[in-house]
Amino acid sequence: MKIHEYQAKALLVQYGISVPKGKVAFSPSEAREIAAEIGNKAVIKAQVYGGGRGKAGGIKKVNNSEEAERAASQLIGTRLVTHQTGPEGVPVSKVLVEEASDVARELYLSILVDGTSRLPVMMASEAGGMEIEEVAQSAPEKIFKSYIDPAIGFQPFHSRKLAYGMNLDGGQIGEATRLMTNLYKLFIDKDCSLAEINPLVVTADEKLLALDAKLNFDDNALYRHKDIQELQDKEQEEPLEIQARDWGINNYVKMDGDIGCMVNGAGLAMAVNDLIQYCGGRAANFLDIGTLNNTERVVNSFKMFIADPRIKAVLVNIFGGMARVDVIAKGIVEAYQQMDIRFPVVVRLAGTNLEEGQRILAESEVSFIQAKDFYDGAHKVVEAAKGAMK
C-alpha cells in the first residue's frame, strides 16, 4: 500500500525525523494562507501516488503567497501524468505547501527487505535527488549498504558505515545515526516494504532534513496497522480496481486490452494474459479469482466485465485445485440468469469436479464457447474479440 508524501512526512515527524515546515492544502486559498504563515518563499508539491512529479510539472517554486495560490490553482483539480502513472495520469486534489530549504547537499537514504539476503537493508548514497536505479548503473561505488540482522537490530556501526560513505562531516555523524535509527524503527514498527528519503538534504546550516519521503507498506501486514489502513486514498486508484475490491475480488489489475479474463491462481492468470498476447490479442485485466466456496465471486467477476465498456469478449480459464470447477460452472449460469451478457464467453475448465461442472453448463441455457485446453481457450477468445469488433 502507498500513501502520500505529506502523510509519510507526518510519520517521519512522529519518529523524530526533521522535515521542512509545511502543511497540506486542499484549495488554492488554503495554499496562500499556509505560504503566508511559513514566510512566503515556498514549494508547492502535488500530492499523488507515484514518482516523477518534478519532471512532470507537479512541483512549483514560488516567491510569495499570491504565487502560491496561483501555483496551487494550476495543480488542484487537474490530472498529473508522470512516467509512472500511465497516459491517463492521476488526479491532484491536494498540494503540500512547504518552506523552501537552503540546500547544501542532496543525499539518498532508504530501507527495504533484500530478497537475496532476506534481511532489511539500509542503503545510502551521496548521489541524492536522482533515482537509485540510475545511480546503481552509473556510479555503483557511491551506494553503501548495511544489512540488518533482526536479532541485533539497527546498531551505531550500521549508521557509521553509511554516514561516512555519504561523506558526512564529523559533527553530522551523530545526527545521522539518530535519524537512521529512527527510520529503521519506523520501518519495523509499521511493517513498511519501502522507506525512502530522496533527497535527504544537508541544509546550509548543516542540519539533516527529509526533503521528500516515500513510505510503502506490506499488504500482508496491514491487518495489524489500522492507523495505516486509514491513510489510503482511494481517489489515487483505478476506479475499476476499487470496484473489484468492493465486490470481493482482491487480485484485479486493469490492463490496456479488450479481452476480459477470469482465472484461478496468480501465475496462471499472468500466463493467460501472456498467451492471449501470443495469440494476437490484448487482455483488459488480470483477475485471479482465488479459492471459492460459493458462486458470488464468479457472478461479481461478470459484473466487472459488464462495468468495463472496453470488453469485447471474455475468457474463463479455471484449473480446479482448491477451487472446484462445479462451483465456477454454477456461478457462470447464475451470472447469465442475472445479467444481460452480450459479449462472447469462452470457457476452459479442468481439474477438481470437472464432469459435474461440464454437466451443469451443458444442461443450462448458457450459450458459451467451449475450449478444450489452455491454448484453444486463448486462441478462441482472440478470434471472438476480433469478431465482436466487426
Partner 1 sequence: MSILVDEGTRLLVQGITGSEGSFHTQRCIEYGTKVVAGVTPGKGGSQYLGVPVFNTVEKAMAETGANASLMFVPPAFAADGILEAIDAGMSLVVCITEGIPVLDMVKVHRYLKGESTRLIGPNCPGIMSPGKCKAGIMVGEIHLPGSVGVVSRSGTLTYDVVSQLTSLGIGQSTCVGIGGDALPGSTFVDILELFESDQDTKAVVLIGEIGGTMEQEAAEFINHKMAKPVVAFIAGSTAPPGRRMGHAGAIITGSAGKASEKIKALSQAGAIIAPNPAEVGLTAKKVVESL
Contact status: 352 vs partner 1 (CB under 8 A):
yes
Contact status: 267 vs partner 1 (CB under 8 A):
yes
Instruction: Give catalytic residues, as residue numbers.
Output: 108, 196
Q: Which stretch binds partner 1 (CB under 8 A): 68-76, 156-164, 205-213, 271-279?
A: 271-279
Contact status: 81 vs partner 1 (CB under 8 A):
no
State which of residues 33, 37, 218, 308 lies at the interface with partner 1 (CB under 8 A). 218
Cβ contact 348:281 at 8 Å = no
**Rounded CA separation 261/250 (Å):** 14
State which of residues 350, 383, 386, 388 lies at the interface with partner 1 (CB under 8 A). 350
Residue type, 27: S
Name the burial class of residue 156, with classes exposed (0-12), middle (13-18) and buried (19+) by CB atoms within 10 angstroms of its CB.
middle
Residues 239-258 that bind partner 1 (CB under 8 A): 251, 253, 255
Residue type, 357: G
**Rounded CA separation 300/331 (Å):** 9
Contact status: 265 vs partner 1 (CB under 8 A):
yes
The residue among 33 and 238 lying less far from partner 1, judged by its C-beta, is 238
Question: Cβ 360 to partner 1, closest distance in Å?
Answer: 19
Contact status: 130 vs partner 1 (CB under 8 A):
no
Question: Cβ 384 to partner 1, closest distance in Å?
Answer: 17
Contact status: 275 vs partner 1 (CB under 8 A):
yes
Residues 220-239: x where in contact with partner 1 by CB under 8 A, - otherwise, as a string: xx-xx---------------
Q: How many residues bind partner 1 (CB under 8 A)?
A: 54
Question: Cβ 96 to partner 1, closest distance in Å?
Answer: 22
State which of residues 81, 143, 188, 306 lies at the interface with partner 1 (CB under 8 A). 188
Cβ contact 325:318 at 8 Å = yes
Q: By CB under 8 A, name the binding residues for partner 1.
A: 50, 84, 113, 115-116, 118-120, 133, 149-151, 188, 191, 193, 218-221, 223-224, 251, 253, 255, 263-278, 283, 286, 288, 319-322, 350-352, 373-375, 378
